[in-house]
Amino acid sequence: MADTKKLIIGSRGSKLSLAYSSHVKNLLIKSNSEFDSNSIEIKIIKTSGDIFQNEKISDIGGKGVFSKQIEEELLDSKIDLAVHSLKDLPTKMTDGLCVNAVVKRNDPRDAFLSYSYKSFHELKPQSKIGTSSFRRQAQLNLLRNDIKIVGMRGNIDTRIRKLKNEEFDAIVLSLAGLQVLNLEKEVKEIFSDKQMLPAIGQGAIALQCRLEDQKTLDILKMINDQESYCCIQAERALLEAIGGDCDTAVGGLAKLWNNKIILKSELFSSDGSKKFVAEGSGNFKEAEKIGYKVGKELLKKAGPDFKV
């Protein structure tokens, strides 16, 4: 461990990231009598994604903009554990690190927010909707092709402030983040997963540590939610199979039912005009295998000229 007396958690400094890290800290204290509030420290680490908030994610490095600096501190043993929003992690795990545990997943669905309209379908033609996600943009355009999708970045508070300032008629955000920050009252409508399949790993909190750090691995095992972990294994395997990352216009959601994993997915062309759908299921012990198979089926449907 980075400190013989303390376990140090690395976290981004946003309200949401700190809420996730505080939740993990509390779970660790409850699960292990060796810990109390003084023996676990949360260390704030600024990432590229936090520093360059007005830049497009693809312009500042794409993969890993919200995790690279945190992972570097983990590899240098300056922290023992990194808490990430799983959907922010690159598909390929950084050498020497692993995610062998997640906490119980929050609601993965997307939410519609507006101060002028009660629902997405009430929007007037040419209304401006803010989102930073290519996936959401493609999905929203399929639901309605008479609205304007406008790119937006910033943390949840920043985005809601832009909405209040009437820079947008509506915005779409992850429901999980709003729930964690007690902002559910801002939600006008929740999209079903039939309307909008969420991003791979949306709503899941990843616990990342060093592969060789057996002590921390054993500690994290005690707070791992097995059902959530099985589901994210399937989803991440799908993303790896298509060679995608957090910028790829792909939706995917795995659910566990009677020891059976059911994985649904959809992939969009770069201009959002075409949608490819694939689904798979099987025993939960084969979660990764199922995810990989569904991913390969998506690519096959998209054809040889498709570029992620």
User: Parallel, antiparallel, or unpaired: how do β-strands 40-44 and 7-11 relate?
Assistant: parallel
The per-residue DSSP string of 53-72 comes to TTS-GGGGTSTTTTTHHHHH
List 3, 36, 88, 193, catalytic entry: 88
Q: Would you tell me how many other CB atoms lie within 10 Å of the CB of residue 289?
A: 16
Q: Are 250 and 201 in contact (CB under 8 A)?
A: no
Instruction: Report d(CA 112, CA 262) in Å as an integer.
Output: 26
**157 classed as catalytic:** no
Instruction: Report d(CA 277, CA 298) in Å as an integer.
Output: 6
Cβ-count burial 50-62 (b if 16+ within 10 Å, e if not): beeeeeebeeeee
Paired strand residues for 206: 84, 102
Q: Are 222 and 203 in contact (CB under 8 A)?
A: no
Phi, psi of 65 (to 5 degrees): -65, -20
Two tokens at 55?
């830049």
CA 235 to chain centre: 11
- What residues act catalytically? 88
